[in-house]
Structure 1
């Protein structure tokens, strides 16, 4: 039997590594844990997502986001979604309004410089992720 502990990382491709690094550092506060080097040049890096979770980024010049991609988005839990939205707006990044979702979480959405969709999540005491129970989707 396998005992999954947590999500280790999500991997994304970037057409501009340094713009991507700046976005995740300056907008989302995620520091670089380490870089991947090849022939003395950085071609990727790991971003600290808290605990032992990470976002892995690799250079891929022709990368573009498509709704047909198999990975649709990734989600980051935040401590205070209102403060997160205000901070993101202060950085000039478009962010959706806070929504109370059918699973009793609060969420908002942004995109990174590569078009990758990022969901921001704030759990509540009633969140289905903790108390269970089927929920009727409202989208």
Structure 2
């Protein structure tokens, strides 16, 4: 059995790096950590989500938008937030439009949804103590 401690990073390819950095840094508050080059060209940019979780941004994406949610492949990234009400206020203040309003999800967690400039879907979720995930973890641990 493979031992995994967390998801280290999610990688996205984007059309316009500067537009993407404006969104993730200036609107969501992520910090640029480092840039890597290959053959003298920008290859990728690391943005900090937490000290051990990152978003890798690759430039020069083809097409105008990320694949629709029904397409095979990456569907969305979920960012855990401590307070969904505060998150909604911060998104509003930053001018970030919610593509789905705040709702109590089928799993018992509060969530809202946004998109980045390339159409990558981002779920913002407040994990609730009585949601399905904590109950499932308790069952797994009980074994």
TM-score by length of 1: 0.87
Q: Give the match's secondary structure for 2:101.
A: coil
| Gapped regions of structure 2 (runs ≥ 5) | 138-143
Q: Give the match's secondary structure for 2:95.
A: coil
Q: Give the structure with the higher percent helix.
A: 2
Match of 1:30 in 2: 30
Question: Number of paired residues?
Answer: 133
Quick check: 1:97 aligned with 2:101?
A: yes
Match of 1:16 in 2: 16
Q: Give the match's secondary structure for 2:82.
A: coil
**Separation in structure 2 between the aligned mates of residue 2 and residue 128 of structure 1, nearest angstrom:** 24
Deviation at 1:78, TM superposition (A): 0.9
Q: Which moved more, 1:116-125 or 1:65-74?
A: 65-74
Match of 1:47 in 2: 47
Match of 2:58 in 1: 58
**Separation in structure 2 between the aligned mates of residue 42 and residue 80 of structure 1, nearest angstrom:** 36
Match of 1:79 in 2: 82
Deviation at 1:40, TM superposition (A): 4.1
**Separation in structure 2 between the aligned mates of residue 97 and residue 7 of structure 1, nearest angstrom:** 26
| Gapped regions of structure 1 (runs ≥ 5) | 134-139
Deviation at 1:38, TM superposition (A): 3.1
Match of 2:73 in 1: 70
Instruction: Please tell me the root mean square deviation across aligned C-alpha atoms, in Å.
Output: 1.7
Q: Deviations over 1:99-133 (max 9, x none)?
A: 11121110000000111000001011112221129
TM-score by length of 2: 0.84
